[in-house]
């Protein structure tokens, strides 16, 4: 399998991707929440009761109001590069305001693609806090127009809710040295498994620390990722390289139908 993380602005980098060359897009754009939302590491002392402790925010690019334009602006190119039946899978914040982003992004996807579903990712209890706690996020799924959505499930039991612990998806509490908004690779793997096959090519235009890339190489897909921040590119490359180097092991366990010791790979991959 091949993989690549390119450093730069996805709006520019996407222009060099040939038409109809990508089987699946999985992405987690900046939500426009101004960098610290959900990042416990940045306000851990306050969370533990020290109300005057400084907040060490770790900004990510384009995470203010410009996030909306960024997300909407790349949709035509994502449509251009996707093959027929290909899907765009887009993480999106849950139901909270002030911007009803889940509604806006769904409608924007539906302007270019056929909107398919808003899957709920239930992250589990968030503990005490103000008003409605943000326990879930949406994962919006849209299909390239003109054909049926690629769908690779034979169970007939795929629900539109991912519950805590499903598919090995674990809650990640970011450490100060991590990406500020890390998502678990198992979440990407769930959608990669449903909407593509081994040997296909997966694109992530907001690669962060490489969560989609890791899932793609583990599932034997080719991967192309764009990330504007050089430090995050380095994190992503390390993560994907490690996953790729362990690919032989995953395959050996699968071929011989041996269940790997519980937690073995996850422990080494986090």
Ligand X SMILES: C[S@@+](CC[C@H](N)C(=O)[O-])C[C@H]1O[C@@H](n2cnc3c(N)ncnc32)[C@H](O)[C@@H]1O
Query: Judged by CB, which is closer to ligand X: 115, or 206?
Result: 206
Indicate the residue whose CB is closest to ligand X: 208
To the nearest whole angstrom, how small is the minimum distance from the Cβ of residue 182 to ligand X?
4
The site for ligand X (CB under 6 A) is made up of 9-11, 28, 30, 60-62, 70, 179, 181-183, 206, 208-209, 211, 226-229, 232
To the nearest whole angstrom, how small is the minimum distance from the Cβ of residue 161 to ligand X?
20
To the nearest whole angstrom, how small is the minimum distance from the Cβ of residue 34 to ligand X?
12
To the nearest whole angstrom, how small is the minimum distance from the Cβ of residue 155 to ligand X?
27
Query: Judged by CB, which is closer to ligand X: 2, or 270?
Result: 270
Q: In degrees to the nearest 10, what's the CA dihedral of 64, 47, 174, 68? A: -20
Query: Judged by CB, which is closer to ligand X: 108, or 206?
Result: 206
DSSP-assigned letters across all residues of the chain: --EEEEES-HHHHGGGSPTT-EEEEEE----SS-S-TT-GGGGHHHHTT-TTPPP-----TT-STHHHHHHHHHHHHHHHHEEEEEEEEEEE--S--SS-HHHHHHHHHHHHSEEEEEEEEE-----S-SSS---EEEEEEEE-TTSPPP---SSS---SEE-TTGGG-------TTS-SS---HHHHHHHHHHH--TT-EEEESS-TTTHHHHHHHHTT-EEEEEES-HHHHHHHHHHHHHHHHTHHHHHHHHHTTPPPPTTHHHHHH-
Query: Judged by CB, which is closer to ligand X: 114, or 241?
Result: 241
Query: Judged by CB, which is closer to ligand X: 60, or 192?
Result: 60
To the nearest whole angstrom, how small is the minimum distance from the Cβ of residue 190 to ligand X?
14
Q: Which two tokens stand for residue 144?
A: 């390239």
To the nearest whole angstrom, how small is the minimum distance from the Cβ of residue 124 to ligand X?
18
Query: Judged by CB, which is closer to ligand X: 191, or 232?
Result: 232
Distance CA 110, CA 120 (A): 18
To the nearest whole angstrom, how small is the minimum distance from the Cβ of residue 85 to ligand X?
25
Query: Judged by CB, which is closer to ligand X: 60, or 142?
Result: 60
């Amino acid at each position: 399998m091949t993989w690549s993380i390119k450093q730069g602005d996805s709006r520019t980098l996407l222009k060099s991707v040939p038409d109809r060359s990508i089987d699946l897009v999985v992405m987690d754009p900046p939500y426009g929440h101004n960098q610290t939302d959900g990042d416990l590491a940045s306000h851990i002392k306050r969370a533990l009761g020290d109300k005057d402790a400084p907040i060490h925010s770790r900004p990510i690019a384009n995470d203010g109001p410009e996030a909306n334009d960024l997300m909407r602006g790349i949709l035509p190119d994502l449509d251009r590069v996707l093959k027929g039946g290909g899907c765009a899978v887009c993480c999106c914040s849950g139901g909270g305001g002030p911007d009803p982003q889940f509604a806006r992004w769904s409608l924007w996807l539906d302007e270019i693609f056929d909107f398919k579903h808003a899957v709920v990712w239930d992250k589990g209890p968030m503990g005490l806090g103000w008003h409605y706690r943000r326990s879930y996020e949406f994962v919006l799924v849209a299909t390239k127009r003109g054909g049926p959505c690629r769908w690779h499930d034979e169970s007939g039991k795929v629900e539109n809710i991912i519950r805590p612990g499903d598919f090995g998806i674990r809650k990640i509490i970011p450490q100060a040295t991590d990406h500020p908004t890390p998502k678990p690779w198992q979440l990407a793997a769930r959608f990669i498994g449903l909407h593509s096959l081994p040997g296909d090519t997966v694109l992530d235009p907001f690669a962060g620390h490489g969560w989609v890339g890791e899932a793609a190489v583990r599932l034997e897909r080719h991967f192309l990722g764009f990330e504007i921040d050089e430090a995050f590119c380095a994190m992503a490359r390390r993560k994907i390289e490690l996953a790729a180097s362990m690919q032989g092991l995953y395959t050996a366990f699968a071929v011989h139908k041996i269940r790997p010791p519980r937690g073995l790979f996850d422990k080494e991959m986090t």
